[in-house]
Amino acid sequence: MPSIRVPSALRSFTGGASDVDVAATTVRDALAELDRRHPGFAAKVLTDGAVKPFIRIFVGPDDIGGLAGLETQLAERDEVSIVPAIAGGREPGDA
Amino acid sequence: MTTLRATIVGAGGLGGPVALSLGAAGVELVIVDPDRVELSNLHRQIQFTSIELGQPKAPRLAGSVVARGGTARGVVARWEAGNADELGADADVVIDASDDPATKFAVADWAVASGRCYVVAAALRYGGNVMAGAPGVACYRCLFEEPVEVASCADAGVLGPVVGAIGGVASAVAHALARGERTLAGALLVFDDLRRAADPRIVRFAPRADCPACTRAPISPFATPVRVAEVH
């Protein structure tokens, strides 16, 4: 079954899970399935049914933007990666 | 032997290992950062000591590079459109090691417009990303469009050793780009959780047709086929 790799910034929505198996045939269905099990997840990734501009989704090494977008078909062993923009290097309370 | 030059934007947790390693490798550096050393920095910005508290980061880091035999100049400033030409003028590669999304876009946009190679490094919690940019490939703005964060270190924090690791990778990628190596050009290296696995996922992405940076680039990415095969 396909799996979704959850970025660390969103693991609070999946109980800390980094990889979640999903019974789905498209990327859109996979995100919907994840949202059913972890309500609120999809809203962090999608807006008005489209991927938010500061997030990219890949199936294996391939950007879904170069495939069929959210309708990209998933095979049994496909791995969906969600990659958000992040900054870095700062700790809470730093200047 | 040709002298390589790099501009490093950010002298903190990411910029420290980038500067020390590139400087030791003989790369001439300009280091740019507006901030001063704070006590809360020291656990992950290991290039600094308590003696340097309150001092500006960029010249202190440049001094550490010079003390190790390298060549570096520290500039106490924020990278902005108004000073980018001066700060990046001689650079073979520009490395964004800042913690600020707007600065990351500013560095990438300038590099694309100037036809330069660049690296954007970021770390959060236990992982991070390193993007290798070069003329003729999809850019950082193609990847993330605009500077809006899904999560910030100010909220989530970052593990000290993680910034060292991500900075080290960014340094190696920058050195390769400066030498003309293009294997990773246009790739994003994603490190999910360095406590569990050190191997990155390497992904590539297509240029956005409406990307304002790429449409003005001297070398357009739209004529270049996107390589989607994973790089090992």
Do B127 and A8 touch, CB atoms closer than 8 A?
A: yes
Whether this model's pTM surpasses 0.95: no
* Spatial CA neighbour of B48 closest among B75, B81, B11, B78: B11
Question: What does pLDDT average to in each consecutive run of 10 residues of chain B (232 residues)?
Answer: 93 97 98 96 93 97 97 97 95 96 94 96 91 95 78 64 95 98 94 87 87 88 58 42
Other beta carbons within 10 angstroms of residue B73's beta carbon come to 16
CA angle B130, B135, B141 (to 5 degrees): 55
State yes or no: pLDDT of A21 exceeds 70: yes
Q: Where are the alpha helices (DSSP H) in chain B?
A: 15-24, 57-67, 81-88, 101-114, 140-144, 153-156, 160-178, 212-215
For residue B93, the SS3 value is strand
- The minimum CA-CA distance between B159 and chain A, rounded to whole Å, is 9
Inspect the interface and report whether the beta carbons of B188 and A88 lie closer than 8 Å: no
- Tell which B residues from 118 to 137 touch A, by Cβ distance under 8 Å: 121-129
pLDDT mean across residues, chain A: 88
Residue B113 backbone dihedrals phi, psi, to 5 degrees: -65, -30
pLDDT in tens, B184-232: 999 999 998 888 888 898 988 888 888 999 988 888 888 755 544 444 4
Q: Structural domain boundaries of chain B? A: 5-215
Tell me which amino acid residue A11 is. Answer: R
Residues above pLDDT 70, as percent of chain B: 92
Domain B5-215: CATH superfamily is NAD(P)-binding Rossmann-like Domain (3.40.50.720)
Chain A residues within 8 Å of chain B (Cβ atoms): 5, 7-10, 18, 44, 52-56, 58, 60-63, 65-66, 81, 83-95
Q: Is the four-CA dihedral B74, B75, B78, B81 of positive or negative sign?
A: negative
Walk me through the domains of chain A, giving residue ranges and CATH numbers: 3-84 (3.10.20.30)
Give the residue-averaged pLDDT of A49-78. 92
